[in-house]
Amino acid sequence: MATTAVHKRIPSFFLYGEAPRTYDEPTLHIETIEFRSARNHWCIDPHVHRTLHQLIFVTWGNGVALAEGDRNVYQSPALVVVPLGTVHGFEFEPGTHGYVLSITADVLREMARREPGVDALFRSPATLRLDGKALDATDLEQAFGTFAREFARSSPGHALALDGLLEVILANVIRLSSALADSRDPAVGRH
């Protein structure tokens, strides 16, 4: 009897659980980790985004980040970098707090023209375990919170504010990831 390999199909989503979209315009999106995770029993099954890069900033709660078949256990605070096309998933501790920031490639390309560190940041998936003191010395947590509040608004200057806040977030992430790479083996914390 011949056996056939069963290939598990990895679902592709725009945002987790949402049908893929045809590209139409630059996109920035933010939501809390709990928004989708709580209703999925704090487990986000492996999936892929074809048009979105993501930054997952975990402010409270521990868990496992899955990327391209690797399992990386983290303790908060942590930051997970997910380049578009990366098969990834999560096992969050119930009650985890933080943010999921999704960004289309064209938005990042524009920022990478001015700051090469942006391109380097999204070259491969990474889980960065952040030192509390190093994090406190940045504006990252405040910038994520402000971005989330601004995202919910529709007042004049909205797009301009989101672009500026994204730049602040990316600058802080680049600084934190560079500090980690300088202080340890560069492979530590990277998938």
Beta strands 78-82 and 52-60, pairing class: antiparallel
Tell me the C-alpha distance between 120 and 174, whole Å. Answer: 9
Tokens 């301009």 locate to: 160
The residue ranking higher by pLDDT, 20 or 29, is: 29
Q: What integer pLDDT is reported at residue 15 of this predicted model?
A: 74
Interval 132-180: pLDDT, tens: 888 999 999 999 999 999 999 888 999 999 999 999 999 999 999 876 6
pTM to 2 decimals?
A: 0.85
